[in-house]
Each structure stands twice: as C-alpha cells, then as structure tokens.
Amino acid sequence: MDIAKALAVIERLCSGPLPAGPAGAGTGVGTAGPGYRIAELATSEDFWEDDGTRREETAEQYACDRDALAQRLAERWGPPQVFSLYSVLDRTVRGEEVAQPWAALSGHVPDVQLWRSEPTGRWTALGVSQWDKELPFQLLAVVTDMDPP
C-alpha cells in the first residue's frame, strides 16, 4: 500500500460533497450512498488456492497497513476510537434497521478505527474488509455524516 496515495484519497473523500440521495456517484475508487463514501485503498488477491498460510500473512499485512495509515491520521486528528461492528451486525441480523454505511460494513468489517471532524461533523473510518475466507482483503476508508450506531 502506498500511504501517500491513500492519504490523498482520504483527503479527497473528506473535502468532497457527500451524496444526498441513493443515486450518489462512486468515489472513483469505491462506492457511495446517501451521506457516505467508501474508498477501496488496497485489495489483495483471492485465496481460492490457499492452504491458509498466505491468507493469515495477508490478514496481518492489511492490519499493519491500516495501523500505519491510522498512525498518520492520528498525527492530524488525534488518536482514533476503535469501534467494533459486531453488535451492529447482530442487530441487523435480528432485523433492526441500522443506518448505512454502518449496516453494510458490519457484514464484512469486524471493527474500524474512527475519527470525528469537529468542523464538518463527519466521521472518517478505516477498516479491513473480507467478505469470506476465499475472497480478497480490502483496506477501506469511509467518510460519512451518519453517527455510528
């Protein structure tokens, strides 16, 4: 992962407008919806032909990349909150309606490192996504005006 490029993407997400409706445009590196943008900062290869070793190494590398990027952001914004999305997933599975992007993220991101920008009221989050054990890891950056549930 190129930290300088990742920081530039995050800056672009933070400074740009958030979509007002469901037809929001993509970020150019991810997805968007009403009040949020999600950027895919890095994506690994898949693990269909893996015995588990490469997957474990990749998981560790993506956690390290997230932490290194979080350290750079902490220099600007202070230390992050670590926010578990497990309870959010549990609530969505039980049928509770949870705001996006938090509901969708909870299905594939176990936790995020989270900052709130006081001037804008927006939240910026970093997380490592993996939809299933055979699928790639992704380092995600999220900017939203929706408070975490």
Lookup: tokens for 106: 């909870």
SS3 at position 11: helix
Partnered with residue 124 across adjacent β-strands are 115, 143
pTM given for the model = 0.92
Q: Which two tokens stand for residue 144?
A: 């939203």
Residues 6+ apart with CB under 8 A from 44: 58, 62, 136, 137, 138
- Using 50, 70 and 90 to split pLDDT, how confident is the model at 109? very high
Per-residue pLDDT at 30: 77
Output the CA angle 10-130-58, nearest 5 degrees. Answer: 85
Q: Mean pLDDT, the chain, as a whole number?
A: 91
